[in-house]
Structure 1
């Protein structure tokens, strides 16, 4: 019998991207926004007109890192400083771990079901856009 698991669906990702785009527009910064499913695989992506090309991979890797470690990338960054418990974590997973704020896991009923990554502004702005994306989800999803 196949196992089933909770995961974000494409419709969820569409809601998240729409909400993130509203937040990005309010900042007047064109953003790259990535949503991954529970397996850490890209579910949806948006690159607003004028968004920096370099932010494409950053947004995707922020989302993937948030899912791989079920934690905010900003928090992982703090825990990965020299002398901290996770120092060196950026070298794991083929070096694709992104330790810049703007990646957040998404929860449903206390279980991680995916993640969001946003990239284009400052770390504070990236976190703000990612949080707006989660706030755009239907109420049955716990969000943060």
Structure 2
């Protein structure tokens, strides 16, 4: 299955809904299976610097087919992926990037940035299940 524009927009809307529930302002990026940007929203008042982080979180999750928080665990000093964040023109290896699946098939990823990594991950997880 392909991640359509309509589905990407539904995911963004779910992320906005959850962000409002948490009273946070987020940057929301959705990429397709090829890690190409499919949809992006910077909520009013969201940190400008987090726009790039949200996009990189989504791409990082898709590049390695795992949530960014999991990559972060593996990229600590002594870990099997130590320094991986320096590859691919920069990766983000802390929570907030989550895969989007249709059943077992990965069809894209979402990246959220603009609050604590806990809130970023919560919004991304909620939206990816939308």
Q: TM-score range by the shorter chain?
A: over 0.9
What are the equivalent positions in structure 2 for 1:1-144 lying under 5 Å apart?
A: 6-94=1-89, 96-136=90-130
Using the size of structure 2 for normalisation, the TM-score is 0.96
CA RMSD of aligned residues (A): 0.9
Cα distance in 1, alignment partners of residues 2 and 65 from structure 2: 13
List per-residue Cα deviations over 1:20-67 (Å, max 9, x = no partner): 001100111111000000000100001110000001001000000000
Runs of 4+ in 1 over 4 A off after TM superposition: none
- Structure possessing the higher radius of gyration over alpha carbons: 1
**Cα offset for 1:109?**
3.1
* Gap regions ≥5 residues in structure 1: 1-5, 137-144
Asked if 1 retains the 8 angstrom alpha-carbon contact of 2:100 and 2:129, the reply is no
Alpha-carbon shift at residue 132 of structure 1 (Å): 1.3
Is this contact kept in 1: 2:99–2:128, CA < 8 A?
no
| Residues matched between the structures, number | 130
TM-score w.r.t. the length of structure 1 is 0.87
Cα-to-partner distance string for 1:62-96 (whole Å, 9 max, x where unaligned): 000000000000010010001111112112112x2
